[in-house]
Amino acid sequence: MNEVQRHNGILSLLEEKQTINVNHIIEQFHVSPATARRDIAKLDELGKLKKVRNGAERIEGKKRTWSPLNIDSTEHYEEKERIAVQAAQLCQPGDSVVINCGSTAFLLGQQLCGQDVQIVTNYFPLASYLINEDHDDVIIIGGQYNKAQHIFLNPAPDSLGSYAGNWMFTSGKGLTETGLYKADMLTAVAEQQMLEQIDKLVVVVDSSKVGQRTGMLFCSAEKIDIVITGKEADPRVVAALEAQGTQVILV
């Protein structure tokens, strides 16, 4: 794991916790105390966190959000766009495609818009975009609207039993040889209901997420058919996933 990936991981930890200490970094990223302190100092200089005694704390502030109007300002945009282009190439005319929430998911929806594929989603920004662009076949999974995540959630355990898809594309906060991790439990549980209804599960994550273990385990690596990520992804994790039978595509 390089320095950039480690710094992204530290900031992801701070999204979950108000504060972290040097030992958290040492244990999570297998680095020396000197490296952990140096990482904190550098991120403090960049204004990404606040350095405190023996650790760091999150800088409170309004989280930058993206929308269909400013999608190109999202973090790692160019890499996510390459991932979306590659993911779209997996789909064939007539396929049914489940797309979950996030900026990479939205970019994938843009790539598939207008093609002969059925798109199933509970992600409101994507559904709105597809409808506005007159995509022919859109299925919106219903339920209660969750404003924070911009998705529809249905608490009934079998609410998605009638839906099925050839492909399911999903992302997360972290991906290791153990599996895919998601930070938001409500989102994860809603998506888990679809896992038994699809033929192929494709994980689309930018390279900064590879090697990170953040949040809850969404699914084990053995359930992931394909991973599409950037060329900067941690090679150790890539090799471990491939050894378990997961196809990894680097873009």
Query: What are the pLDDT digits (tens) for 183-193?
Result: 887 778 778 87
Strand partners, 162: none
pLDDT score of 193 = 79
Assess contact for 73 and 66: CB atoms under 8 A: yes
pLDDT value at 143 more than 90: no
Paired tokens of 157 = 């355990």
pLDDT confidence of residue 215:
85
| Nearby residues of 158 by Cβ (< 8 Å), 6 or more positions away | 193
> Above 70 in pLDDT, residue 162?
no
Is residue 127 scored above 60 in pLDDT? yes
Question: Using CA atoms, how far apart are residues 135 and 34, in angstroms rounded to an integer?
Answer: 54
Q: Are 101 and 150 in contact (CB under 8 A)?
A: yes
Q: How far is the C-alpha of 206 from the C-alpha of 172, rounded, in Å?
A: 10
| DSSP three-state, residue 173 | coil
Percent of the chain with pLDDT strictly greater than 70: 91
pLDDT of residue 71: 76
pLDDT of residue 98: 94
123: DSSP letter: B
User: What pLDDT shows up at residue 183?
Assistant: 85
Q: Identify the residue with better confidence: 175 or 8.
A: 175
Going by pLDDT thresholds of 50, 70 and 90, the confidence category of residue 155 is: low
Indicate the SS3 state at residue 139: strand
What pLDDT does residue 145 have? 73
Facing residues of 27 across strands?
A: none
pTM: 0.75
Residue 47 has pLDDT above 80, yes or no: yes
